[in-house]
Amino acid sequence: MSAPLLAANISAGYAGGPDVLRDFELTIEPGEIAGLVGESGSGKSTVAMALLRLLDYRGGRVRGNVWFRDRDLMALPQREMRAIRGKEIALVMQSPQASLNPAMRIGAQIRECWRAHNRRADECPDPLELFAMVNLPGEPEFLNRYPRQLSVGQAQRVLIAMAILHRPALLIADEPSSALDAVTAQEVLNLLSRLRQQLGMSILYISHDLLSVASFCDRVSILREGQIVETGAPESLFTAPKHPYTRRLLSAIPQPRFLPTMA
């Protein structure tokens, strides 16, 4: 059996407050879509920030280990961590318009993302070919648009294009469909699933939506108050949950009969 791509055992919090994550344990296998689901305030977004050591810039703290490709990310100098963040591990946030620079054209932001990890700007992949991979318009004019000229769905696809620019081994998607309508949200999940197959990357999909997690992920972990309380394949987790909290989450779905039928 191959070693996990990522294995984390951490506690994390913010300055002056108690730990938000307490003895949080998570593994992600190569090529796997791992789901992390929990209600608001459970610590989901803190997980994404902690794994990438972005809490370092927000007055936060992280203790423990995050093993990624035989390296403990928690022990790396920030210079080495910056070389991994955005290149080997990419992040897509839930608010695309807030994540893009409103003063820069889309094409310029793609090129800047490339220059962050490469000295030669002329080796940047063709942005239009990249956009074709994420179902965005292939006209050169699109590169000259500002984020305010994009729909929310287009802006989210631009973020995904920037995330896969360096062909990362792991993509962390923090509620990437929460700002989208139901149809566009499903299109984004289908896109991520296809990119997983096409690029061979793993995905950590963070969400509060049990239905999308059930249909999208290979394995799901339930987060409650900063701790994983149950992990399993969707077909077992959602049809025969073992933990009382998981059962309560499932009972909160207004129409549970619409849960996907598991083979």
Q: What does the pLDDT profile of the chain (263 residues) look like in tens digits? A: 578 999 999 999 998 889 999 999 999 999 999 999 998 889 999 999 999 999 988 789 999 999 999 999 999 999 999 999 999 999 998 888 888 999 999 999 999 999 889 877 678 888 899 999 999 988 899 999 999 999 999 999 999 999 999 999 999 999 988 878 888 889 999 999 999 999 999 999 999 888 888 889 999 999 999 999 999 999 888 889 999 999 998 888 775 444 554 44
What pLDDT score was predicted for residue 16?
Answer: 80
pTM: predicted TM-score of the whole model, two decimal places: 0.91
Nearest CA among 21, 146, 166 for reference residue 90? 166
What pLDDT score was predicted for residue 56?
Answer: 82
What pLDDT score was predicted for residue 260?
Answer: 52
What pLDDT score was predicted for residue 258?
Answer: 46
Write the pLDDT tens digit of every residue in 75-128.
999 999 999 999 999 999 888 888 899 999 999 999 999 988 987 767 888 889
Identify the residue whose tokens are 């989901």.
44
What pLDDT score was predicted for residue 59?
Answer: 83
Domains of the chain plus CATH, in order, are 6-253 (3.40.50.300)
